[in-house]
Structure 1
Amino acid sequence: MISPPQTKHSVLRVQCSTSSTPHFVSDQNNTTLRRSANYQPSSWRYEHIQSISSEYEKESHAEERDELKEQVRMMISQLTNDLEKLEFIDVLQKLGVSDHFVLEIKNVLQHVSAQSKHMLKAKNDLHTYALQFRILRQHGYDVSAEIFTSFQDEKRNFVWDDIKGMLSLYEASFHSMEGETILEEARDFCSIHLKQFVKENKDSEISIMISHALELPLHWRIPRLEAPWFIDLFQRRSNNNDVSPALIKFARLDFNILQVTHQQDLKYTSRWWKEIRDGQKLSFARDMPTENFFWGLGMASQPELSYFRREMTKITSFITIIDDIYDVYGTLQELELFTHVVHRWDIETMDILPNYMKKCFLALYNSVNEVASAIFKHTGFDIIPYLKKAWGDLCQSYLIEAKWYYNGHVPSMQEYLENSWISVGGPVALVQGYFLIQDYAIIRPQGVQYLQGQQEYPNNIIRLSSTIVRLANDLASYKIGDHNYDDVAKSLKCFMNETGASEEEAYEYVYTLMCQTWKKLNEAVHNSVFPPSFTEIAMNLARMAQYMYQHGDGHGEDSHTNLRMISLLDHPIPITSTNY
């Protein structure tokens, strides 16, 4: 992993989120009337971000954490049967600490996988089957979904009434790939019975876990972001000796210590953002330093990946700025010029741009070239052609949408999807992220070839992950009542216009399409030529979309997302928390 280059301080794309109807304002030279989206200042003030501190910077906390880590390692070694080991791995993952025990987990899963043809001994235990299936498939092992046929009758109806087993099967079903109809049937069956159980047993602990799963399955969640919720849950269960108090304390300390690293990353990116936004006079763009940082944190939270998070924040910030130029601020003629300049990637051509665009392009050019220079220094590999193409493709997709808007054109669903998986910003983030995430001793030629030809591969990981981001964002716009069909057409409008469907039918179609895309992504990751470090950030990008858009537009001052960011970045987890 390379170190950050020495600098002065050693999103993905969403539709506009505004406080009122856009209006027109004059530009810097008072020569052009421009739309303004009335973006509100960030609730995360620069002064507050820079003032954040934590007592967990003290070395004594790290020493205690390491002592507890050895106790947990001993617990793993003392587990006697496969089911206990799988359940312990499940708890480690939910608490966000499984990265500390990679070797131990690998050894357990290799043994379980070797025995999987014979299955675990509890042959009538749906929970055992489902847990083994989920964890093995999550870690890349080949395991057939046909193991669940033993829980169906001759008419392929599931005949199981154990609520713990149904919850486990429900979670396992989200690891399905195309063609695995038994998992679709399992999800439908479990969903009906789990919802009914919650209605009848609202206050039980299992109901709390079921409700959490029905909101979003584990496979669509990011362990780091979920850790506070599960730490709180298991803290309560530790009173009944279900989970070791030492394990809970280890998870809490580990979370709080890692939070210090994330706070330092946020401070760095906040300083960078203030310098770019104020220095380049880009005040027309959304002021979202923490939201932009949050995407990178969700994609890669490990302590050693500060450089990735810092650079990913710059990427999502530029995506946001350029999105606002194309969506709101720029004229169509200016957008065509800007697209041309980005494709050329030559500062000698930027004289044709208006002043605000010159400043934006120069800041982008310098930032991207700085990363490329650092990587070239360590590897001798020139990544500029890949980054230039990614940014050029993004601006071209923005220009297409701008022309749709100005011409009043509503694209077909297929036409929309072919463009919007690029315009959402995922390819830019993942192409650059590919080079940021790896050990640069080796850059795999086969992986680079896939990066270069990403648009030619319909089941490419980059395309699938980005499509999920796009569809999740479109669904969020519907959920918050953003039915402004005078804006750039989104998937729901395209489907309604093409088929005559109602809004509810369009929502159901787009949600189903998103679930189908998840199946394709599961399979693409399972068969990927990319290194696991990259496939994980690609999966996490899709998961971040589910997370950010769960309750609305999380990239636009959504209150739920803001509370989550406060929990993850500003408040350490106390001994007893109240995260319900």
Structure 2
Amino acid sequence: MVFPILGNLPFSFAKNILPPLGKKYSSLATCNFNTFSSKTQCKGSYIPSSSTRRSANFQPSIWTYDYIQSLSSEYKEVMYRKQCSILKEKVRMMLNKTENELTQLELIDVLQRLGVSYHFNNEIRDILDNIYNKQTFKLKKNLHATAHVIVCFEDEICNFKNGHFVDVEGMLSLYEASFHLFEDEPILDEARDVTSKFLKEFLDKNGDKNISLQISHALELPLHWGIPRWEARWFIDIYERQQNKNHVLLEFAQLDFNILQSLYQEDLKYTSRWWKRTTLGDNLSFARDRLVENFVWTVGTNFKPEFDYFRKVLTKVNSLITIIDDVYDVYGTLEELELFTKAIDRWDLNAMDSLPNYMKMCFHALYDLVNELAFETLKKCGYHITPYLKKAVSIIIIIIMITIIYYYYYYYYYYYYYIIVGRSM
């Protein structure tokens, strides 16, 4: 049933995920996928039964509905917002009054690491543009300036080995900056090698606990690879231990973090109430009930307070996709999955009549969510997006269904095509 639906997909898309024509993979006994690993082999004659219900033994959520609804924070009160606004203006004045370029960059770096730089986007952009324009003019007059930077830091390593003073924070900054490189940038590649080697040696000899924590954290997970809110929470504790800390900055960062956390709690409580109304977590015990994990993912994607609607919507979407993915991967039989895929493609409530009850619940929840999003978009923006949402949902479901077809009919190449389909999604 699912193959006629594939006609709606672009040819290049279908060509990449469908097996070569004329191949009877089920007749093979051994296959070796050198593309991924020389050790990846599939042997045997097992062919899954289309009526078998599997179980992944997913554990229930450790966060109950009552616990989530009991979350509270005093920082949602107006008095804390007023105090935060006062501190924000003090920091803004501090940023505007700073004239030395190096001091400006250090202050911007601290603001970003503390997770409060989003309050000063315009000021930071002006400062960086001004510094960049000055540096661009200098570089035009000295073509060897960039290469000279690496030479200077190699000199720093020599100073370190000889027991002389070395700019450790500068080396750490260059190490972090090297993760912003593009392809074919050998200078930054070399910078990463030089700085990482230096920082590892410095860790073995240094007794400063504060800088050692920063170095070990950067070597384990560079700032550019981290999640902003997690990095901010970690750095607030680090900054609090520093002797040269700015108390206004520290208080502002702590207060801002707590206020945002109170907003996240309200967002989570809202999505938890929605999840409770769907009853999917209570009735579909074979699937993952991962509302909180999906919400945390959205916070990592965009933490800013004005994107609360984004976090709520994406949490709903991801939670439903997680459930439906388990319906396909774990519980549903092939016959049921074909009926469900066809019902999604038709996008008609009457198509639910032939579905089992657990699939009816999934279809209804997905149908209601799509209509809710379409209505909110029409009301707020004046755009009718229902056809596009339906198309997107249909493509996602078909992609998942294709992996199941490989599992049942092309079992020996299942892993190979699972990787390709996952990349397509």
TM (norm. structure 2) is 0.79
Give 1:329-368 correspondences, 5 Å limit: 329-368=331-370
Q: Give 2:174's match in structure 1, choosing from 147, 163, 169.
A: 169
Question: Residue in 2 aligned with 1:284?
Answer: 286
Secondary structure of the residue that 2:54 maps to in structure 1?
Answer: strand
Structure 1 residue 197 and structure 2 residue 195: aligned? Answer: no
Q: Give 1:275's match in structure 2, choosing from 264, 274, 277.
A: 277
Question: Residue in 2 aligned with 1:80?
Answer: 99
**Equivalent pair of 2:210/2:241 in contact (CA under 8 Å):** no
CA distance, structure 2, for counterparts of residue 203 and residue 279 of structure 1: 49
**Structure with more of its chain in helix, by fraction:** 2
- How has the CA–CA distance of structure 1 residues 412 and 39 changed in structure 2, closer, same or farther, with 3 Å as cutoff? closer
- How has the CA–CA distance of structure 1 residues 366 and 149 changed in structure 2, closer, same or farther, with 3 Å as cutoff? same
Question: Residue in 1 aligned with 2:41?
Answer: none
Q: Give 1:225's match in structure 2, choosing from 227, 230, 253.
A: 230
CA distance, structure 2, for counterparts of residue 412 and residue 324 of structure 1: 17
Post-superposition shift, 1:403?
2.6
Post-superposition shift, 1:375?
0.6
- How has the CA–CA distance of structure 1 residues 409 and 393 changed in structure 2, closer, same or farther, with 3 Å as cutoff? farther
Q: Give 1:37's match in structure 2, choosing from 56, 69, 72.
A: 56
Q: Deviations over 1:54-85 (max 9, x none)?
A: 12122222222111111111111221211111
Secondary structure of the residue that 1:35 maps to in structure 2?
Answer: coil
Structure 1 residue 150 and structure 2 residue 151: aligned? Answer: no
Structure 1 residue 410 and structure 2 residue 413: aligned? Answer: yes
**Equivalent pair of 2:399/2:421 in contact (CA under 8 Å):** yes
Structure 1 residue 183 and structure 2 residue 188: aligned? Answer: yes
CA distance, structure 1, for counterparts of residue 64 and residue 282 of structure 2: 19
- How has the CA–CA distance of structure 1 residues 292 and 369 changed in structure 2, closer, same or farther, with 3 Å as cutoff? same
CA distance, structure 2, for counterparts of residue 342 and residue 278 of structure 1: 18
**One-letter identity of the residue aligned with 1:76:** L
Post-superposition shift, 1:97?
0.6
Question: Residue in 2 aligned with 1:321?
Answer: 323
- How has the CA–CA distance of structure 1 residues 354 and 158 changed in structure 2, closer, same or farther, with 3 Å as cutoff? farther
**One-letter identity of the residue aligned with 2:420:** E
**Equivalent pair of 2:223/2:231 in contact (CA under 8 Å):** no
Question: Residue in 2 aligned with 1:507?
Answer: none
**Equivalent pair of 2:56/2:330 in contact (CA under 8 Å):** yes
Question: Residue in 2 aligned with 1:51?
Answer: 70
**Equivalent pair of 2:53/2:332 in contact (CA under 8 Å):** yes
Structure 1 residue 107 and structure 2 residue 107: aligned? Answer: no
Q: Deviations over 1:258-296 (max 9, x none)?
A: 111111111111111122135983332212221111111
Post-superposition shift, 1:233?
0.6
CA distance, structure 1, for counterparts of residue 407 and residue 204 of structure 2: 45
Post-superposition shift, 1:384?
2.3
Q: Deviations over 1:286-317 (max 9, x none)?
A: 12221111111111211122111111110110
CA distance, structure 1, for counterparts of residue 284 and residue 134 of structure 2: 59
Q: Deviations over 1:127-179 (max 9, x none)?
A: xxxxxxxxxxxxxxxxx9x86422446xxx95542432321111111111222
Q: Deviations over 1:16-53 (max 9, x none)?
A: xxxxxxxxxxxxxxxx6521222212111211111111
Secondary structure of the residue that 2:53 maps to in structure 1?
Answer: strand
Question: Residue in 2 aligned with 1:310?
Answer: 312
**Equivalent pair of 2:374/2:384 in contact (CA under 8 Å):** yes
**Equivalent pair of 2:98/2:104 in contact (CA under 8 Å):** yes
CA distance, structure 2, for counterparts of residue 119 and residue 403 of structure 1: 61
The structure whose RCO (Cα within 8 Å, separation 6+) is larger is 2
**Greater mean deviation of Cα atoms: 388-397 or 293-302:** 388-397
- How has the CA–CA distance of structure 1 residues 356 and 65 changed in structure 2, closer, same or farther, with 3 Å as cutoff? same
Question: Residue in 2 aligned with 1:65?
Answer: 84
Give 1:236-251 correspondences, 5 Å limit: 236-237=241-242, 240=243, 242-251=244-253
RMSD: 2.6
**One-letter identity of the residue aligned with 1:57:** K
Q: Deviations over 1:357-389 (max 9, x none)?
A: 122011101101110111122333222233223
Secondary structure of the residue that 1:44 maps to in structure 2?
Answer: coil
**Greater mean deviation of Cα atoms: 332-341 or 268-277:** 332-341
Secondary structure of the residue that 1:53 maps to in structure 2?
Answer: coil
**One-letter identity of the residue aligned with 1:300:** N
Question: Residue in 2 aligned with 1:29?
Answer: none
CA distance, structure 1, for counterparts of residue 205 and residue 193 of structure 2: 19
CA distance, structure 1, for counterparts of residue 206 and residue 372 of structure 2: 57
**One-letter identity of the residue aligned with 1:234:** Y
- How has the CA–CA distance of structure 1 residues 245 and 279 changed in structure 2, closer, same or farther, with 3 Å as cutoff? closer
Post-superposition shift, 1:324?
0.7
Secondary structure of the residue that 1:328 maps to in structure 2?
Answer: helix
Secondary structure of the residue that 1:174 maps to in structure 2?
Answer: helix
Question: Residue in 1 aligned with 2:299?
Answer: 297
**One-letter identity of the residue aligned with 2:357:** N
Gaps of 5+ in 1: 1-31, 124-143, 424-580
Q: Deviations over 1:507-528 (max 9, x none)?
A: xxxxxxxxxxxxxxxxxxxxxx
**Equivalent pair of 1:393/1:422 in contact (CA under 8 Å):** no
**Equivalent pair of 1:175/1:219 in contact (CA under 8 Å):** yes
**Equivalent pair of 1:151/1:160 in contact (CA under 8 Å):** no
Post-superposition shift, 1:253?
0.6
**One-letter identity of the residue aligned with 1:172:** A
- How has the CA–CA distance of structure 1 residues 195 and 403 changed in structure 2, closer, same or farther, with 3 Å as cutoff? farther
CA distance, structure 2, for counterparts of residue 359 and residue 340 of structure 1: 16
Question: Residue in 1 aligned with 2:161?
Answer: none
Post-superposition shift, 1:223?
2.2
**One-letter identity of the residue aligned with 1:253:** L
Post-superposition shift, 1:417?
4.5
**One-letter identity of the residue aligned with 2:225:** W
Post-superposition shift, 1:202?
6.2
Give 1:202-217 correspondences, 5 Å limit: 204-217=209-222
TM (norm. structure 1) is 0.59
Give 1:541-560 correspondences, 5 Å limit: none
**Equivalent pair of 1:280/1:359 in contact (CA under 8 Å):** no
CA distance, structure 2, for counterparts of residue 215 and residue 331 of structure 1: 43
CA distance, structure 2, for counterparts of residue 324 and residue 412 of structure 1: 17
Figure out how many residues of one structure are paired with residues of the other and give that number: 364
Give 1:373-412 correspondences, 5 Å limit: 373-406=375-408, 407-410=410-413
Gaps of 5+ in 2: 1-50, 158-166
CA distance, structure 2, for counterparts of residue 352 and residue 147 of structure 1: 71
Q: Who wins on radius of gyration, i.e. which is larger?
A: 2
Post-superposition shift, 1:203?
5.0
CA distance, structure 2, for counterparts of residue 276 and residue 225 of structure 1: 31
Question: Residue in 1 aligned with 2:37?
Answer: none
**One-letter identity of the residue aligned with 1:408:** Y
